Amino acid sequence: MNRRLVKLALTLVTLSWATSLAQAPAMVDLGGYKVNFTCEGPVTPLTVVVIRSPVLPVGAAVGDDTHFQASVGADLAESVRTCAYDPPGTGESDPAPRVATAAERAEELHRVLVKVRVRSRVVLVTDRFSSQLARLFTSRHRSDVAGLVLVDPWQEDTAAAVSDFFRRRPLSRVRTGDPNAVAALNALSAFVRAYETGRATALSGLDVVAGDREVRSVRSFGALPVVVVTSVFDVFSAAGETGGNVTYGRELANVLRTQQGKLRGVSTNARQMLFDPLDPGGTAISESEVVVEAVRAVLNAAARGRSLPGTR
């Protein structure tokens, strides 16, 4: 047989084998319920796992499950194995069989990784409430984690800080504006009010209050590469409004920015990346682009054992 044909055949077999290794089952059985865990890309020394978050129940317009999993995965999967994970009750996964704490959700993720035979260390990418899961997973399985990217994370002091903001700046000061923006603020206000009075309901089966108690006991992760990605826009600017409502929205955004910045304290090798998708500086950038940049920085730091650029 022609040597070129033999080489081509071997190449195709190798690619097919590598691709089959990289594909994880779409649904993983955890005993009575299934969760979505789908991987793309070649087998690599590090695996990126993007974790979907529960959302506040504010209606389809502003509280849906839209997520950056797909776009981030498409950008990264060409060079690194990238997996999308939907915890119970989110995305394509079955509803949660019962209310669970973030520590229990972390152990579910560990069971999934064992079942699908992810043997490499992982970089966990989260947003909002799923940051609890990632921090507790890292605390319990430190040797399995190469780094964290926490996108607009929920920090355990956030409820108190936001509740204090609404006491000082009541929502009644907001003039009639974009209904989706107002609905989002009302949902956040209702959640933190219920949180403080002990009446907060679980979000997609996740007990956020219990999760906050759990993460308070988590110690530093040493020099683990950690990037906190914070969007600094407000809901009213995003809706195209101007004036007093925008000022109100920016004040709240600053409160969230401060709380998220505290998570730099989980590691001596951490930084906070700020971005404004409304592009005030004339350089358009999307959330997905920022997340991909953060993930690549963590991958490089983990692979080379170096500090992240811009760390204090």
Q: Tell me: pLDDT of 219 over 50.
A: yes
Give the predicted TM-score (pTM) of the model. Answer: 0.87
Amino acid at 13: V
Map 55-91 to HEC letters: CCCCCHHHHCCCCCHHHHHHHHCCCCEEEEEECCCCC
All domains of the chain in start order, with CATH? 3-304 (3.40.50.1820)
State pLDDT tens for residues 123-176: 999 989 999 999 999 999 999 999 999 999 999 999 999 999 999 999 887 876
State pLDDT tens for residues 126-140: 989 999 999 999 999
- Res 200: pLDDT: 86
**129 within 8 A of 104, measured Cβ to Cβ:** no
Nearest to 150 by CA among 137, 159, 141: 137
- Res 285: pLDDT: 65
The dihedral built from the CA positions of residue 227, 73, 49 and 52, taken in this order, carries a sign that is positive
Mean pLDDT of the 242-262 span: 90
Q: Tell me: pLDDT of 117 over 60.
A: yes
